[in-house]
Amino acid sequence: MTEVSSLTGRLLVATPALADPNFDRAVVLLLDHDEEGSLGVVLNRPTPVDVGDILEGWAALAGEPGVVFQGGPVSLDSALGVAVVPGETDGPGAPLGWRRVHGAIGLVDLEAPPELLASAVGSLRIFAGYAGWGPGQLEDELVEGAWYVVESEPGDVSSPSPERLWREVLRRQRNELAMVATYPDDPSLN
């Protein structure tokens, strides 16, 4: 297999042509991407379940809306925490219970006491499940035109209006992708 250029920390934005209902207008933050596969979480699929209903100790740190998000179709019975920690996050200054993924974005050890992170966390999201791809699978989907790959911003993780994230991420692009943000939900109604 050829060497894979890591897309860790970038966003996958579903193209209007992507036919998988699990990813219709999805915005996926890639948490890991290498020759062994890819793992990410869907940032714009809030559920009606409050964080406090399943992880009571973490509820106070969860950003608005304070609900669990469906991170993807894999392992829906497991939880992942993704947090933004502003400031210097490398080396000994990194908070205990947090591992940097990209920039200020990192994974939270949900087994750790929330108090360890309380003073450092700028925003936290809890995800049930994740999106996963085997070796070469994501690259094949990229070649097929299923995803746009764009830079992430720390605010994407904590968007207070996740239902608008697909359009907002596309709209901020400085190329023809900004026009895709106007693509109708149902083009047959045009």
CA–CA dist 108, 69 (Å, integer): 15
Tokens representing residue 14 in the block:
């579903």
Largest CA distance in the chain: 56
Confidence category of residue 133, pLDDT binned at 50, 70, 90: very high
* Residue showing tokens 């999106």: 131
CA–CA dist 50, 112 (Å, integer): 20
What's this model's pTM, rounded to 2 decimal places? 0.90
pLDDT at 52 over 80: yes
Q: pLDDT tens, 65-118?
A: 999 999 999 999 999 999 998 876 566 667 889 999 998 999 999 999 999 889
pLDDT at 2 over 60: no
Q: Are 69 and 126 in contact (CB under 8 A)?
A: yes
**CA angle at 69 for the pair 67 and 71, rounded to the nearest 5°:** 165
